[in-house]
Amino acid sequence: MKAELTFSIVTPSYNQGEFLAETIESVLGQAGDFAIDYLIVDGGSTDRSVEVIREYQRRLDQGEWPVRCREIRYRWLSEKDAGQTDALGKGFRMAEGDIFAWLNSDDTYLPGALQAVAERFEEGGDTALLYGDAQYCDARGEVIGRYRTQSYDYGKLAWFNFICQPAAFFRKEAFLAVGGLDATLHFAMDYDLWVRIARRFPCRYLPKPLANYRLHETSKTVSDRTLIANCEEAERLALKYFGWAPLTRVYNTCSARCRANLPNCFAASRVALLAAVGVCTIARSLRLNRGIRLRDLALLNRENFGKLGKSRLEIMTGNKDQDC
| Residue 138 predicted with pLDDT over 90 | yes
Is residue 120 exposed (0-12), middle (13-18) or buried (19+ Cβ within 10 Å)? middle
Question: What pLDDT does 324 receive?
Answer: 40
- The verdict on domain 6-126+166-196 having CATH code 3.90.1150.10 is no
Where do the CATH 3.90.550.10 domains begin and end in the chain? 6-126+166-196
Q: Which residue has better confidence, 120 or 321?
A: 120
| Residue 134 predicted with pLDDT over 50 | yes
Tell me, letter by letter, the H, E, C secondary structure of 110-175.
Answer: CCCHHHHHHHHHHHCCCCCEEEEEEEEECCCCCEEEECCCCCCCHHHHHCCCCCCHHHEEEEHHHH
Point out the least confidently predicted range of 51-55, 107-111, 198-202, 261-265: 261-265
DSSP letters of 254-292? HHHHHHHHS-HHHHT-HHHHHHHHHHHHHHHHHHHHTS-
* DSSP single-letter state for residue 219: -
What residues contact residue 92 under an 8 Å CB cut-off, 6+ apart?
A: 8, 10, 100, 175, 180, 181
Q: Which amino acid is at 1?
A: M
Q: Which amino acid is at 128?
A: A
**286 neighbors 292 (Cβ within 8 angstroms):** yes
Reported as a pLDDT band with limits 50, 70 and 90, residue 130 is very high
Q: Which residue has better confidence, 139 or 124?
A: 139
Is residue 177 exposed (0-12), middle (13-18) or buried (19+ Cβ within 10 Å)? middle
**89 neighbors 193 (Cβ within 8 angstroms):** no
Question: What pLDDT does 310 receive?
Answer: 63
Q: Can you say whether the dihedral through the CA atoms of 62, 68, 74, 78 is positive or negative?
A: negative
* DSSP single-letter state for residue 98: S
Task: Report CA 294 to chain centroid distance, whole Å.
Answer: 30
Question: What pLDDT does 315 receive?
Answer: 64
Taking the C-alpha atoms of residue 98 and residue 172, their distance in angstroms, rounded to an integer, is: 6
Neighbours of 139 (CB within 10 A): 16
| Residue 105 predicted with pLDDT over 70 | yes
**pTM for the structure as a whole:** 0.92
